[in-house]
Amino acid sequence: MSNPYKDAGVDVEAGYQSVSLIKEHIAKTQIHNSLNQIGDFGGLFPLQLDGIKEPILVSGTDGVGTKLKFAFMLDQHSSIGIDCVAMCVNDILCCGAKPLFFLDYIALDKNYPNKVSEIVQGIAQGCIQAQCQLLGGETAEMPGFYAKDEYDVAGFCVGIVDKSKMPNKQTIQKGDRLIGIASSGVHSNGFSLVRKILQDRQIDPLNYAFEEHTLAKTLLTPTKIYVQSMLQVLKEIPIKSIAHITGGGFFENIPRSLPQGLGAKIQTNAFPILPIFEFLAQQGGLEIQAMFGIFNMGIGMTLVVRQEDVKQTLEILHSCGEKAYEIGEIIEEEGIHLC
């Protein structure tokens, strides 16, 4: 007996197999007694408010963007899920929020269960790093909409913070210091430009050796998740503001964490610019000003603290395994000023 839905390109049986394969990955992220099972129409999460006087829920959503093209090139899909989680949880960290749960959405031309399982394995790993639960998700098989063997992935997270403990950028003053935490690489931003540079220079990232890997593998390095280290800092230091350095680099993101009338002077020699950015600047003929307005340049997150809190903040971050640096100061001139 023919199956008209399968004839149209949607394999329901493959969907069932995908669900079966991803169950073990999802189970590893469980942090509370679960009230729901995979296949339910909604994800249920028991909210624990012990010690929180004024609970504020903080939400964030994002995708991975054209970095996915490098996953397609290498046919490696596990790390891309970490990127998806990172882009969401790092954003809500800027409000001081502890991530609670995460949901994913995977849309693809054809449901290959092993590929879906590999993607979800990465998402689960990202959730473990972020200390949150993978509560549910959706896989959509959309034949004729996506190119063969391609897909998109997006995520949504919810966190919680006590209102009294949220960073408040209105407390920032001239002379406060900016601390930068190292990135793991390009993270998940600027890849449309990366791909254009490689295309214009006729560089094959699959066969171009870069450091200890191919260029493609270097570019696929997953986005760093800062949850564990940042929550530790937030417990001990009165952080005034936090910025996640994503698309738009320093020039777009740091000003979002500053009050009107103030800016930041950045010492570009205070931290190592990663080799991948030096490579992209050289191959693309890009000036340093442009690079800092597009990429993270080796700094994935910035914090504004009082001058007297710099030493302790750096000590906490280093004890958590982060590479962190004092990279600048707050000045009475709006914008970002590179020195």
Would you state the pLDDT for residue 25?
58
Q: Per-residue confidence at 46, pLDDT binned at 50, 70, 90?
A: confident
> Is 112 a residue whose pLDDT tops 90?
no
- Other C-beta atoms lying within 10 Å of the C-beta of residue 296: 31
Q: Are strands 263-266 and 335-338 parallel, antiparallel or unpaired?
A: parallel
Q: Answer for the pair 314, 233: CB distance below 8 angstroms, yes or no.
A: no
Integer Cα distance of 53 and 163 in angstroms: 8
- C-alpha 23/C-alpha 16 separation (Å) is 11
Region of residue 34 (left: phi > 0; alpha: psi -120 to 50; beta: else): beta
- Write down the H helix ranges in the chain: 4-7, 12-27, 68-74, 78-93, 113-130, 191-200, 215-219, 227-236, 249-256, 275-284, 288-292, 310-319
Start-end of CATH 3.30.1330.10 domains in the chain: 4-165
Span 147-170, average pLDDT = 94
As to burial, measured by CB atoms within 10 angstroms (0-12 exposed, 13-18 middle, 19+ buried), residue 280 is buried
Considering the chain, what percentage of its residues have pLDDT values greater than 70?
88
Is residue 12 very low, low, confident or very high in pLDDT (cuts 50, 70, 90)? very low
DSSP code per residue over 167-226 = --GGG--TT-EEEEEE-SSSTTSSHHHHHHHHHHTT--TTT-EETTEEHHHHHTPPPPP-
Summarize pLDDT for 189-245 with one digit per residue, the tens: 999 999 999 999 999 999 999 988 899 999 999 999 999 999 999 999 999 999 999
- Architecture of the domain made up of 4-165: 2-Layer Sandwich (3.30)
Judge whether residue 164 has pLDDT over 60. yes
Q: What is the mean pLDDT of the chain?
A: 89
- Amino acid symbol at 208: Y
Give the distance from CA 88 to its chain's centroid. 6
Q: What is the CA radius of gyration of the chain?
A: 21
Burial tier of 204 (Cβ tally within 10 Å: 0-12, 13-18, 19+): exposed
Q: Where in the chain is the domain with CATH 3.90.650.10?
A: 169-338
Task: Report the top-level CATH class of 169-338.
Answer: alpha beta
